[in-house]
Each structure stands twice: as C-alpha cells, then as structure tokens.
Amino acid sequence: MFTNDEINLMCIYNTGTREGLIAELTKMRDYLGAEETELLSLTDSALGKLRGMSDAEYAELDLLPDFDVDAE
C-alpha cells in the first residue's frame, strides 16, 4: 500500500498514532517551498493513504525505516 519512500518519511515523523502522524506530516508540509515538488508529492500521497485508513489498519503497519544505502 505504501511505497518505501512513504514508509521512510512516515518513520521520521511517526508519533505512534495515525492522527499524530497526520498532524506532524501536515505541519512539516507547511514548511516546504513550492520548488520542493517531489517531497510535496510524497507527503501528499502518504497523507492521502493515512487519511483513508482506520486506526486498526495503521496499528498493523511495520513502520521500520529501510534506508538502503549503497556502499559504492
């Protein structure tokens, strides 16, 4: 349902509750400039999915970051 990038973003702002995460992502979004189109799009996508799910569905998510860093 969520992309790897969305999960990583959600991990950064996760408060432990769906509503708390929505609030934090919304607050963060207000600080983004119009030129930050990729992050705006990513945030909007994650917010839309979070708003469309229940708290029970949110509780089932494994919000563990997957920062695949290439050593090369």
In a domain, 72, yes or no: no
- Expressed as residue numbers, the domain containing 49 is 4-59
Domain count, the chain: 1
Q: What is the pLDDT of residues 8-57, one digit of tens each?
A: 999 999 999 999 999 999 999 999 999 999 999 999 999 999 999 999 99
- Residue 1, token pair as written in the block: 């349902």
Mean pLDDT of 1-12: 93
3-state secondary structure of 1: coil
In a domain, 46, yes or no: yes
The predicted pLDDT at position 58 comes to: 96
Q: How confident is the model at residue 67 (pLDDT cuts 50, 70, 90)?
A: low
For residues 54 and 8, give the distance between their C-alpha atoms in angstroms, rounded to a whole number.
Answer: 20
The rounded distance, in Å, linking the Cα atoms of 24 and 18 is: 10
Q: Does a structural domain hold residue 10? A: yes
Q: Within 10 Å of residue 52's Cβ, how many Cβ atoms?
A: 9
Q: Which residue has the tokens 């509780």?
A: 59
pTM of the model: 0.86
Q: Tell me whether residue 22 is in a domain.
A: yes
